[in-house]
Amino acid sequence: MSTTASKFNTLNPVVRLLGWLSLVITCFATNAFAGQVSLAWNASSGSVAGYRVYYGTVSGNYTAKLDAGAITAATVANLTDGATYYFAVKAYDGAGNESGFSNEAIKTLASTNTTSPTSPTTAAPVSSFTATPTSGVAPLLVTLADTSTGTVANRTWDFGDGTASTAQNAIKTYNVSGVYTVKLTVDNAGGKSTTSKTITVTTALPTANFTAIPTSGTVPLTVQVADSSTNATGWNWNFGDGTTSNLQTPPAHVYKTAGTYTVSLTVSGPGGTSTVKTTTITAKAAASVTLPSPWLNVDIGAVGVAGSAGYTNGTYTLKGSGVDIWGYNDTFNFTYQPWAGDGTIIARVTSLTNTDSWAKAGVMIRENLDTNGRYAMIAVTAEKGIAFQTRSAIQGIASYTAGAAKAAPYWVKLTRTANTFTAYQSADGKAWVTVGSTTLSMATNVYVGLAVTSHSNASLATATFDKVTTITSNSGTGTLPSPWMDSDIGAVGVAGSAGYTNGTYTLKGSGVDIWGYNDTFNFTYQPWAGDGTIIARVTSLTNTDSWAKAGVMIRENLDTNGRYAMIAVTAEKGIAFQTRSAIQGIASYTAGAAKAAPYWVKLTRTANTFTAYQSADGKAWVTVGSTTLSMATNVYVGLAVTSHSNASLATATFDNITIQ
């Protein structure tokens, strides 16, 4: 179409553009040219370099322009379908000076192609989903539900750990800790959409747990712990008595000293965190109230029923359960006393309950109170006759020699000469017949006594003994009245000894010292249980060193590094009150009067309080010091001497010995 043009305006005095412009607008209605308007106009007279087309969607307000050059037609593209546009043209000369606008032409573009209508466009879907839960402890199970909108042709789940799925909904388990990004991508012909969520998986914390069986009993108390922790990869057991283990299931633990112990288990897991579980173990002192000194009683091993012992008018009555005294481990009841060196024990087994044909009762020499220790025993059985049994190695299997086919009442005897152990049997206690003899590498300090096992762990067998006789010959010592014994403690340079004459005890001992972390000295002692007092006058002491010592001592065991309390007279350093509060711990010292022998010393125990005294006359006592020591109920009490010069013997004499 065409319109009538208006006359150009004069731009400046130099250039005049004359002539009329007329626009002819043509709009092509094809799909290929949708959004386009074609324009044509009459040429202008005068010096014309070219034409510029101005256009916009508001009349007279042209927001865009197109330089058509010297031709009189142009096509304006990229216009919006359905919109109305306003067009006008200006001519310009070689200097770029423009004329005024031509007439304005108007064109409204069609919203659809008039020759070939387009199909409706498919909208792209919008991705969305839910994740439950989004955090937790591995293994973490997460439920994923697609909640996308629109038409979904395809979907893909990316679980963030290298795995994927095309299911509409998914259930994913994360077994390893970490932070995972879950993505859901959905698409159709109109496009695609992706959304994501973060899943946080943490490592499961370990939880410590265990059982301990039993949690109480008499010493030596055997306790088996069993781990029941969760999510643990490392274990650290502390048995409360200075021993530990890093095994998940450690061997059965034996508490040899009475006391209350806290067993703790610390576990660790992959996350590096740990928790602690504790259980209290009560190890009770061996029952000895009804036994004459120095006898004590204890169950050995994990007996099914607790045993006991009593004494009346020369008869010892033992009650004991237990699987057996045999194999690699023993479970039985033992009435015993400490013993050193050579000697003999004799007893008549007057009766034995027939809980099993292999129920046993007899006399025993045993190296320690462990369930698997070395021993020699001659026993009467319920139906199997006389049995001579030995164990030659710790945790070794026992050996057996059969004697007469006899039952109670019957006599048994066991002797030790160095490392030779010989067993005898007798019908009357006069005519003895040898059952067997064997060599055992057993320590000098051992235990001797009476033993019974029911061979039926859920039942108690009762055995009675009379005519019980112990005959000791202490190696390296003189003659001591019963129940006194003598032994060197630790690696002494020269063997010590002890003797007794007319109320005076004479001890000879070498040793580096009673001090520091270990003691080396000579000890004349007897077993002791509970509270009490020991008093002595140190009448003389050889001055082998200014720190040579002689005094009275209460000692938990006969080890070189055991707990003890001692009040001593020294050669030149005065009175010394010494203690060791922990096994392998360093000793402590409190100075008393600047006195030498002869001088009186006294030591008392009340529960775990130990108090030391000194006196010039044995009547007026002065306290030197008092301390608390967690010491077992069953201990040793006696006289001690060290030369403080390990190559020499110091001689100390004592009189007025009193044990209360």
| Inter-residue contact 53 to 36 (CB < 8 Å) | no
| H-helix segments, 288-400 | none
List Cβ neighbours of 313 (8 Å cut-off, separation of 6 or more).
none
pLDDT tens per residue across span 327-337: 999 999 999 98
| Inter-residue contact 409 to 348 (CB < 8 Å) | yes
d(CA 146, CA 149) in angstroms, rounded, equals 9
pLDDT score at 46: 75
| Inter-residue contact 522 to 579 (CB < 8 Å) | no
pLDDT score at 28: 43
d(CA 135, CA 119) in angstroms, rounded, equals 47
Q: Is the pTM of this model over 0.75?
A: no
Q: Does domain 296-473 have CATH number 3.60.70.12?
A: no
Name the CATH code of domain 17-108 (choices 2.60.40.10, 3.10.310.40, 2.102.10.10, 3.10.450.50). Answer: 2.60.40.10
pLDDT score at 271: 66
pLDDT score at 112: 56
What topology does CATH give the domain 129-202? Immunoglobulin-like (2.60.40)
**CATH architecture, range 485-659:** Sandwich (2.60)
pLDDT score at 121: 67
d(CA 41, CA 32) in angstroms, rounded, equals 24
pLDDT tens per residue across span 459-495: 999 999 998 877 655 433 357 877 888 889 988 999 9
Q: Does domain 210-284 have CATH number 2.60.40.10?
A: yes
The continuous run of DSSP H or E covering 231 comes out as none
Residue type, 192: K
- DSSP summary character for residue 241: S
Positions of E strands within 162-209: 164-165, 169-174, 178-188, 191-202
Residues paired with 499 in a beta bridge: 506
d(CA 528, CA 110) in angstroms, rounded, equals 120
> What is each CA distance from 478 to 420, 471, 472, 511, in whole angstroms?
22, 14, 12, 19
d(CA 474, CA 444) in angstroms, rounded, equals 9
Q: Are 129-202 and 485-659 in the same CATH fold?
A: no
Compute how many other C-beta atoms are within 10 angstroms of the C-beta atom of residue 205. Answer: 16
pLDDT score at 346: 92
> What is each CA distance from 302 to 223, 256, 333, 448, 632, in whole angstroms?
8, 13, 11, 21, 21
Domain boundaries, the chain: 17-108, 129-202, 210-284, 296-473, 485-659
Q: For the chain, percent helix, then strand, then coil, each to nearest 5?
A: 0, 55, 45
Residue 33: strand, helix, or coil: helix
- Residues lower than pLDDT 50 in the chain: 1-20, 22-32, 114-119, 287-289, 474-477
∠ at Cα 179 (173, 185), nearest 5°? 70
d(CA 246, CA 123) in angstroms, rounded, equals 66
